[in-house]
Amino acid sequence: MNPTLPAERRHSMPTRLRATARSEWVKLWSVRSAPTVLAATALVIVAGAFVLCSGYRSGWASMSASEQAAFDPTFTSLRGIELAQMLIGALGVLAVTSEHGTGLIRATLAATPQRAQLLTVKGLVLGAVVWALSTASSFAAFTAGRHLLTGPVPHASLDDPGVLRAVLGGGLYLTLIALFGTALGALTRSTPLGLTTLFGVLLVLPLTAGLLPGDLTDTILPYLPGEAGSQIWHVKPPSPHSLTPWHGLSLLTLYVAASAAAVLTLHRKRDA
């Protein structure tokens, strides 16, 4: 009856955005799934460094000279990201589809009818949390690898060329994957469909591309979203056809931006 709003608050855009962000922040932390998945992500990234680095240390002597020359200690320490990206991507998908599955989206949109703003802020809140956590986890994994790769096994230091970029790149890559998952969730509005699409793009596409005849693999594989984006946390390029780290990350950013644009265009016309 008596909207107790200070008049100056009514049409101020920053205030509106802050309110949406606060709401999404409360939602993120008030169910068990997000904190659990985020904790699991940190664990997978750090544990990956322990498992892989101790494996290389014990098996180093039996590796061929070319394998030893291609060894990338930074990438090996960070390689838990390959598993972590599935968790983070799924978290992004579920951030949207869980609201559609329960019907909560109607209450959410009734409180925030600005759909483009709602989805953008939802992605940004999740993205910021994922960035902070996965950047910290990448540093932790790198530090663990640094201590485990001893003796004859080469190790990297943050001062070496490209190493700091790769460690920071782990956080950037997973943030983009979280946003990609969020966009897929908003496009499909269905948990099974969203997850299938996500895993299809991140797992099945690279595997399929790898099965193609050599030339075709080299033409297609480097441009797939996961393969392109993951160059940012490599120090040595895995293949001569790989994109450079920043080109690869830019291409992944482009994929994410395109899916976000599709979401924002469609959302104007779709019924909730």
Q: Give the shortest CB-87-to-another protein separation in angstroms.
A: 18
Least CB distance to another protein at residue 114 (A): 7
Question: What is the signed CA dihedral for 182, 188, 193, 199, rounded to 10 degrees?
Answer: -40
Residues 242-271 close enough to bind another protein by CB under 8 A: 269, 271
* Footprint of another protein on 32-61 (CB under 8 A): 32-33
Cα–Cα distance for residue pair 24/105, rounded to 1 Å: 12
Shortest Å, Cβ 266 to another protein: 12
Taking the least distance from each CB to another protein, the nearer of 25 and 199 is 25
- Examine residue 20 and tell whether it contacts another protein (CB under 8 A): yes
Residues 114-153 contacting another protein, CB under 8 A? 114-115
Is the Cβ–Cβ distance between 76 and 48 less than 8 Å? Answer: no
102 belongs to the binding site for another protein (CB under 8 A): yes
Asked if 108 interacts with another protein (CB under 8 A), we say yes
Contact track, another protein, 54-93, x by CB under 8 A: ----------------------------------------
Near another protein by CB under 8 A: residue from 86, 99, 133, 202: 99
Distance of alpha carbon 81 from the chain centroid: 9
Q: Please, what is the minimum distance in Å from the beta carbon of residue 115 to another protein?
A: 8
Residue identified by tokens 């004859």 is: 152
Residue 103 as a binder of another protein (CB under 8 A): the answer is: yes
To the nearest whole angstrom, how small is the minimum distance from the Cβ of residue 187 to another protein?
18
Q: Which of 35, 113, 154, 192 binds another protein (CB under 8 A)?
A: 113
Query: Got the DSSP string for the chain?
Result: ------GGGTT-HHHHHHHHHHHHHHHHHSSSHHHHHHHHHHHHHHHHHHHHHHHHHHHGGGS-HHHHHH--HHHHHHTTHHHHHHHHHHHHHHHHHHHHHHSHHHHHHHH---HHHHHHHHHHHHHHHHHHHHHHHHHHHHHHHHHHS-TTS----TTSTTHHHHHHHHHHHHHHHHHHHHHHHHHH--HHHHHHHHHIIIIIHHHHHHHS-HHHHHHHGGGSHHHHHHGGG-SS-SSTTPPPHHHHHHHHHHHHHHHHHHHHHHHTTS--
With tokens 């709003």, the residue in question is 5
- By CB under 8 A, residue 112 contacts another protein: yes
State how far the Cα of 189 lies from the Cα of 147, in Å rounded to an integer. Answer: 44
Stretch that binds another protein, among 5-13, 50-58, 211-219, 235-243 (CB under 8 A): 5-13
Please choose, out of 8-16, 126-134, 152-160, 163-171, the segment that lies near another protein by the rule CB under 8 A.
8-16
**Which part of the chain contacts another protein (CB under 8 A), choosing from 11-19, 52-60, 150-158, 243-251?**
11-19
Binding residues (CB under 8 A) for another protein: these are 1-5, 9-11, 15-16, 19-20, 22-27, 30-33, 98-99, 102-104, 106-115, 269, 271-272
